[in-house]
Amino acid sequence: MRLSELWRTRSKPTVSFELFPAHAPRAQAKLDATVEVLARLEPELVSVTFGAGGSTREGSRQLVASLRARGLEVLPYFAGWGLGPAQIVSVLDGYLALGVENLLVVRGDPPEEEGLAPAPDAFPHASDLLGFVRARYPFCLGAAGYPEGHREAESREADLAFLRLKQERGAEFVIAQYFYDNHLFLSFRERCREAGITLPIIPGVMPIYSAKLTERLSALCGASLPEPVRRAIAAAGEDKDALQRYGVELAVEQCRGLCAAGVPGLHFYTMDRSESVLAIVTRLREERLL
């Protein structure tokens, strides 16, 4: 199933979940439990992340294989930072052998570990990587988009030009970075259309799981926190249940607005957790929005 075709033809938004490979037995048990819950929601697809420099290469492949064995449509990420052509081909040949049809191609951030130098023939940008993959593989390719602009971009206009280049080099859909103000996404989508970017654009949704995680991810991803959200997080204090309830309500309200704006899908960043996403998707389906 080519996702670009799915998103152009469905009458209601799709549901998708992002998962990342576990690094330890305890994390694996948590991931297994999360998959068991989320699979029952019958998402249209599940994405699997890929660590910088190939750091989760084998774990990502195993998770993709496991999810496909459950009958789920899987969208693997491929973060090409630091990898040369031979390494890229090795990874993608493996995904092709698993029957993968769709691939999200991103540059990825440099790993935090010291001493991991990129291969001398590594690609500097996701657009370069997309061109390489498009010329060699039949995957339906996706690219990342940034409603608030990529952290390293000189400007939002420059960032948009790179996204248009990704389209020219083979991208067929866009998965957007998360945000907490729908106007940021809707403005981004409008600017994309004005710039000639015609691809389906799927917004990312990041429920608030904890105050510490929210602050860390906001700084890491460049996703701003509106003042009302900051105040609500502060008001919850150490009450984790209250914060989780607020996170669910905020995400449900966001998704209502996005569905009303005609988005083709909702992509939930689960952080390998299920409780909040389960509550959000259940509410939206009860309201017949999905």
CATH classification at residue 32: 3.20.20.220
pLDDT score, position 114: 56
97, two tokens = 């052998």
pTM recorded for the entire structure: 0.95
Residue 179 lies in a domain: yes
Q: Which residue has the tokens 């599940």?
A: 46
User: Would you say residue 290 lies in a domain?
Assistant: no
In a domain, 227, yes or no: yes
Q: Which residue type does 150 have?
A: H
User: Residue 44 in contact with residue 16, Cβ under 8 Å?
Assistant: yes
State pLDDT tens for residues 255-270: 999 999 999 999 999 9
Q: Helices 227-236 and 240-260 meet at what angle, rounded to 10? A: 150
Overall average pLDDT of the 51-71 stretch: 86
What does the alpha-carbon distance between residue 232 and residue 246 come to, in Å, rounded to a whole number? 8
Residue 285 and residue 290: Cα distance in Å, rounded? 5
Tell me whether strands 140-145 and 171-178 are parallel, antiparallel or unpaired. parallel
| Domain limits for position 74 | 3-285
Strands 265-269 and 102-106: unpaired
Residue 200, in any domain of the structure: yes
- Residue 11 reports pLDDT greater than 80: yes
User: What was the pLDDT predicted at 142?
Assistant: 98
The per-residue pLDDT for 268 is 98
Integer Cα distance of 281 and 258 in angstroms: 13
Structural domain count, the chain: 1
